[in-house]
Chain A
Amino acid sequence: MKIAVCVKQVPDSWAEKKLRDGDAILDRAAVEGVMNELDEYAVEEALKIVEANGSGEVIVVSMGPDRAAEAVRKALSMGADAGIHLADAGLEGSDAVATSYALAKVIDGRGFDLVLFGSESTDARMSVVPAMVAERLGLAQLTFANKVEVAGGSVTIDRVSDNGVETITAALPAVVSVVEKINEPRYPSFKGIMAAKKKPVETLSAADAGLDAGQVGLAAAWSKVDSFAARPPKAAGVVVQDEGNGGIAIADFLAAQKIL
């Protein structure tokens, strides 16, 4: 069982984020980077599958600036076996379409039985990359899993959606994305952190990965940011002094907001 887990380094979800003035790209350097939380669940699930299986290999794949190597290390310290880090200045500003193209190029031909994703990244929140990668690889896509079972050459998931839970099975290899209810990601032990320092990480440039430079980067993005403005500061709330008419005042306020 050979599993690829795609992880992304995202700006700390609670930090204040800014777009860069010149190119309107998220200013990643200005904030702490962390491994996308949902990807931790994917790494955990991959490790669990390998543990249950008795043997196998978990390879972390990440596309991102040099700093994204930290996310790869983090996954390695959790227990993944090796990493592939696609880092190239030319990739900056890539949209979901370009990202899926790059990731698929890296993954293709390496003999993975399963490709795992977190169901979304906490910065872009599009949830489309897993599906796009599956499409590009020509594999089945099983997304939003809160349960994954691998047995006898096929994978079965419980797919959660607003409408309920579906059970879906597909033959391996396949692409699966997981939601946060699926497990409890392990906290890397110190032993794991030490071991991760010695695990192999393959760093690829766009050329190494055989990417067509015209299909990635900001210039190739299908959408453009024309202009943006900082969010206006939060307006002070309305204070209702209760002088016997508090209930009415609140009801009026809610009605004005079209809530009542």
Chain B
Amino acid sequence: MESDMVLRLVVGLALTFGILAFAGRRMAFLVKLARSGKPAVGRLTDPTARVEAEAVEVLGQKKLLKWTIPGIAHVFAFWGFLVLGATILEVYGALFIPDFAIPVVGHWSLVGFLEDLFGLLVLVGITIFAILRLRNNPEVKGRWSRFFGSHTSGAWIILFMIFNVVWTLFLYRAAQYNTGVFPFMDGGAFVTEIVAGWLEPLGETANEWLETIGIWLQIAVVLLFLLIVLHSKHLHIGAAPINVFTSRRPDALGPLLPMMYNGEPLNFEDPPEDALFGKGHIAEFTWKGYVDFMACTECGRCQSQCPAWNTEKPLSPKLMIMNLRDTMFAQSDYLLAAKGKHPGLGEFDEAALNSLSPEVRAEVERPFIGSREGSDHSAEDGYTFDGHRTTGADLPIIDEEALWNCTTCGACVNQCPVDIEHIDHFIDMRRNQVMIASDFPSELNGLFKNLENKGNPWGMNASDRNAWIEEVDFEVAVFGANGEDTIPADVDYLFWVGCAGAFEDRAKRTTKNVAELMNIAGVKFMVLGEGETCTGDPARRAGNEFLFQMQAAQNVEVLNEIKATKIVVTCPHCLNTLKREYPQLGGNYEVVHHTELLNDLVKAGRLTPVNKIDKTVTYHDPCYLGRHNKVYVPPRELVKATADTTVEMERSGDRSFCCGAGGARMWMEEKIGTRINQNRGDEAIATGAKRIAVACPFCSVMLNDAVTSRQQEEGRAVGVEVVDVSTLLLNATKA
């Protein structure tokens, strides 16, 4: 017995130190790699929110539970592993002392019960995962599987290893039970007892050996699992909690991050020589970017929601992140050698470059963003269904087509269980394409010129901004018309009409409706008229941060000068920029969307819908009102107040499907795949609703196009109209 214990200890420790040596090296490498990133700012501010995020999203698994079945399976596996931490302690104790028990609680039946219960639940969890993977087999379902492009074999190995962890656990525990050294001899460990019943007939010696062998196996399996984790997408076990802790709180939606230099906002007037403008190489990402890439679990939730991927375009947020991660690892020699000193702007750290093997050097010098047109790798963003990168050194790493496909709808960010900040990365790469490479879709040329010369995306004259006022039969106060130099105190709201609201026909109707409704309700408002210019949203989302900064600075100056405090808008993009982005430039205003204001007016009895529409209405959540700014309820309440029957589309609320116009896509051609607006329009039509209510000028145009194009076909979408929520309300209010 004594010598058996020595053998048990020696083999156990040898296994441990042998494998830990490898694991330790890998861990040190990963930490160094992450630290080689450029500095990130504000990642530890507001620690309370961060601890809370850790509690809710990591321990509470909140985002995983957005999807019930896979969510529960993951809760089992995750909590199982936390609880099984206790058994690791026990197994190492048993290396030294055969009847080891954790001090104080070590013999409590409850502890034994929980350990066994969670061991079992882990098995249930991985069974569910296995079934999900079989039913969603990317080899069969192609791009319609959320696992398309994820590492399939790696995932199966992980599931198999977890299975091994569990069975070896019960093996040694049952043998311990039979030899009488088990800490929970008094009951509780119900699974162990069952398995012990099976092993008991083998006899005492056999059980003694099974105990020792089981312990070795358990240790070996756990350590091998660790090693595999460190080399696979399962790295998320370690990276995800760090990523959640350092993520943008409350989420990476709404405002985009300003460009920084040495922890300060970049001065565009006189930028430092070595400032970077966006990301044009993997070495230009921050450490937070690298942790993002390490944290991706390849779960494909983002991909399953992405409007670009769902309309057969190359972009998948998951494949983008995987591609960045593969690139980070492929170039890790360079990243480690350059230690964050990569100069960027097409230059390299020469010393680091010269230290590389020819293969790595070729990868480092490979074009980062560019066209893959004409190659076989364009459609699925250069990945096979089972996670192999198919693009060689002859092709750019990031497909520009995929990069420009993004509508910045935020579905990916909203879904991601580990809080990866996809949009920020994509916009950073667009910034490089616009401000440094000057290589972007040619349609944006016109947009930028119109914004620069005319202050609006359509290139209309500022003098036409008030054209809508002539089409209404009530007085509209225009700022400055009576010589005022600040907004008079009796004005409730500055009505920010927006470029669409002033120049685009459908949106103009919304403008007039909202003005009329405010007029009816006795809300005093004033418009800026010719003083308004584009908020800068399209420029910013198209990567032209320089132009955005100029436009935003000008608007903030005007708004501060006239002492604007409360602003109402009809465009969710204006809302997002004025309310969430202008504070970055010193503009702080109380901004509401018209659906919020109108809903308040209805609730307060200042507007009374008397004439409800007798047709079914469905409401489409605009990305920048819903996901980006969490306004889901007021427009729905308004719709309910004006219509007898309403119906929801399947993809609604925070899972609403983009209309295709965001991210400056409104001004780009949609050349690949099917049309995003048609996809959404068809979904709305399929509800049978006769009115599709929208709350965004761009959604309005996009969905209207989709409906009209269906109406060209005989008997389809008959009588369906796309209307702004305000139109419904106005019609209902006027008897």
Listed in ascending order, the chain A residues whose CB lies under 8 Å from chain B are 12, 14-16, 32, 34, 184-194
Inside 8 A of B437's CB, which chain A residues have their CB?
Answer: 189
* Complex Cα–Cα for A32 and B442 (A): 24
Bound complex: CA of A188 vs CA of B445, how far in Å?
Answer: 10
Check if A187 sits within 8 Å of B436, measured CB to CB: no
Please, which residues of chain B bring their CB within 8 A of the CB of A32? 453
Contact B461 A14 (CB under 8 A): yes
How many angstroms from the CA of A187 to the CA of B443 in the assembled complex? 11
Does any Cβ of A come within 8 Å of B506's Cβ?
no
- Indicate the member of A184, A185, A190 with the most B CB atoms within 10 Å: A190
CB of B277 closer than 8 Å to a CB of A: yes
A191-B345 contact given A14-B454, A15-B461, A184-B445, CB 8 Å threshold:
yes
Query: Does chain A have a CB within 8 A of B624?
Result: no
Q: Is B448 an interface residue (CB 8 A)?
A: yes
Residues 439 to 487 of chain B near chain A (Cβ within 8 Å): 440, 442, 444-445, 448-449, 453-454, 459-461, 463
> Is B383 among interface residues, defined by CB-CB distance under 8 A?
no
CB of A16 within 8 A of CB of B463, answer yes
Nearest CB of A to B451, in Å = 11
Q: CA–CA, A55 to B459, complex, Å?
A: 37
**Can you spell out 9 A-B residue pairs with CB atoms less than 8 angstroms apart?**
A14-B454, A16-B463, A184-B442, A187-B444, A189-B436, A189-B437, A190-B436, A191-B436, A194-B271
Partner of B445, one of A15, A34, A187, A194: A187
- Are B442 and A190 in contact, CB atoms less than 8 angstroms apart? no
Residues of chain A within 8 A of B546, CB atoms compared: 190, 193
Q: Tell me if B435 is interfacial: C-beta within 8 Å of chain A.
A: yes
B271 — which chain A residues lie within 8 A by C-beta?
A: 194
B contact set with A: CB distance below 8 Å: 268, 271, 277, 345, 434-438, 440, 442, 444-445, 448-449, 453-454, 459-461, 463, 546
Beyond A12-B453, A14-B454, A32-B453, is A189–B445 a contact (Cβ under 8 Å)?
Answer: no
By the criterion CB–CB under 8 Å, are A189 and B461 in contact?
Answer: no
What residues of A have a CB within 8 angstroms of the CB of B449 in the complex? 187
CB pair A14–B463 under 8 Å, yes or no, is no
Chain A residues with CB under 8 Å of B442's CB are: 184
Distance from B480 Cβ to chain A, minimum over Cβ atoms (Å): 19
Q: What residues on A are CB-neighbors of B444 within 8 Å? A: 187
Contact with A190, one of B277, B459, B460 (Cβ below 8 angstroms) = B277
| Bound-complex Cα distance A185 to B449 (A) | 11
Closest to B271 in A: A194
Q: Are A185 and B445 in contact (CB under 8 A)?
A: yes
Task: Say yes or no: B453 contacts A190, CB within 8 Å.
Answer: no
Nearest chain B residue, comparing its CB with the CB of A34: B453
Which listed residue (A184, A186, A190) contacts B435, Cβ 8 A? A190
The answer for the CA separation of A191 and B444 in the assembled complex, in Å, is 18
Which chain A residues border B459 with CB–CB below 8 Å? 14
CB distance from A74 to the nearest CB of B (A): 10
Q: Are A188 and B438 in contact (CB under 8 A)?
A: yes
**Least Cβ distance of A30 to chain B in Å?**
13
Note all chain B residues with C-beta closer than 8 A to A14.
454, 459-461
A187 lies within 8 A of B438 (CB): yes
Would A189 and B434 count as touching, CB distance under 8 A? yes
A14 to B450, CA, bound (A): 11
Which B residue's beta carbon lies closest to that of A184? B442
Interchain nearest-CB distance for B455 vs A (Å): 10
Contact A189 B463 (CB under 8 A): no
Q: How far is the CA of A185 from the CA of B445 in the complex (A)?
A: 8
Q: A187-B445, A194-B271 are in contact. List 11 more A-B contacts (CB 8 A).
A: A14-B454, A32-B453, A184-B445, A187-B444, A187-B448, A188-B438, A189-B434, A189-B437, A190-B277, A190-B434, A191-B438
Q: B463: shortest Cβ distance to chain A, in Å?
A: 7
Q: Which residues of B contact A186 (CB under 8 A)?
A: 438
The answer for the CA separation of A191 and B461 in the assembled complex, in Å, is 29
Collect the chain B residues with CB atoms within 8 Å of residue A185's CB.
445
Across-interface contacts of B435 in A (CB, < 8 A) = 189-191
**In the complex, what residue of chain B is closest to A78 when comparing beta carbons?**
B438
A193 to B269 alpha-carbon distance, docked (Å): 11
Q: Are B461 and A192 in contact (CB under 8 A)?
A: no
In the bound assembly, the distance between CA atoms of A198 and B430 in angstroms comes to 26
